A = this chain, B = another copy of it.
Amino acid sequence: MSRSGLKLYESSVSPNSRRVRIFLAEKGICVTRVPVNLGAKEQFSKAYARINPRRVVPTLVLDDGTVIGEVPAILRYFEEAYPNTPLLGTSSKDKALVTMWERRMELEGFAAVMETVRNKIPSLKGRAIAGPHAYEQIPALVERGRQRIENFYADLEARLGEAPFVAGERFSAADISAVVTVDFATKALELAIPDPNKATHCWYDAVAARASFAA
């Protein structure tokens, strides 16, 4: 493991934090983790707002104090600074394909689960979108979210019928976003991989067997 002086503010119950943890485990990078207690709403404290005014986790703070928010930006930092075990592609073409597939997993899968949860759970009233601004819940988004997740599972099954991993022949950040989405949907909404989706089950078992999965 390579050890850095970086600090990662994150939470063990945050699916976005888990995307970064799995990425770091795959690359063998060890950073100082600073827990942010979401249950106690610590992300809205004045102390945390000074670190990340967006009031979300995870946040990466570099040695020089530079603050990097947003999961794809944090992954980009680690991929560029620690190029061993590439997870965002190697050639120009592969880098573009990983970007495309990771983004689809996030926007069509992860974001759909997040939107459904945030518009559904009573404790998130007035917090339908993460960040510094308050937005009321819209109940119609819960029903639409279920449709979106159903479509996500169907599209993922089609994709994994043509390639062993989401972005093609190799494990990448796209698989990380996909597996975190599946676990999030299963745990928060009881929307697990549909039984008939054999290619997805096979892929899930392979990804869950990696040491990084427990991160």
Interface residues of A (CB under 8 A from B): 60, 62, 64, 66, 68-70, 72-74, 76-77, 80-81, 91-93, 95-97, 99-100, 103-104, 108, 129, 131, 133, 135-136, 138, 140-141, 144, 147-148, 151
Within 8 Å by CB of A97, from B68, B93, B133, B138, lies B68
In the complex, 23 of the A-B residue pairs with CB atoms within 8 angstroms, ordered by the A residue number, are: A60-B96, A62-B93, A66-B97, A68-B97, A68-B100, A70-B100, A72-B99, A72-B103, A73-B103, A76-B96, A76-B99, A77-B92, A77-B93, A80-B91, A80-B92, A80-B96, A108-B131, A133-B147, A133-B148, A133-B151, A135-B147, A135-B148, A138-B138
Bound-state CA distance A129–B141 (Å) is 12
Chain B neighbourhood of A103, CB < 8 A: 70, 72-73
Chain B neighbourhood of A68, CB < 8 A: 93, 96-97, 100
Given A72-B99, A92-B81, A96-B74, CB of A138 within 8 Å of CB of B135: no
Would you call B81 and A97 a contact (CB within 8 A)? no
Chain B neighbourhood of A95, CB < 8 A: 76-77, 80
Bound-state CA distance A183–B140 (Å) is 30
Q: Which 5 A-B pairs have the closest CB atoms?
A: A77-B96, A73-B100, A80-B92, A73-B99, A81-B92
| Chain B proximity of A167: nearest CB distance (Å) | 10
| Chain B proximity of A113: nearest CB distance (Å) | 15
Chain B neighbourhood of A80, CB < 8 A: 91-92, 95-96
Bound-state CA distance A72–B70 (Å) is 15
Would you call B140 and A135 a contact (CB within 8 A)? no
Bound-state CA distance A100–B80 (Å) is 14
Within 8 Å by CB of A70, from B73, B99, B140, B144, lies B99
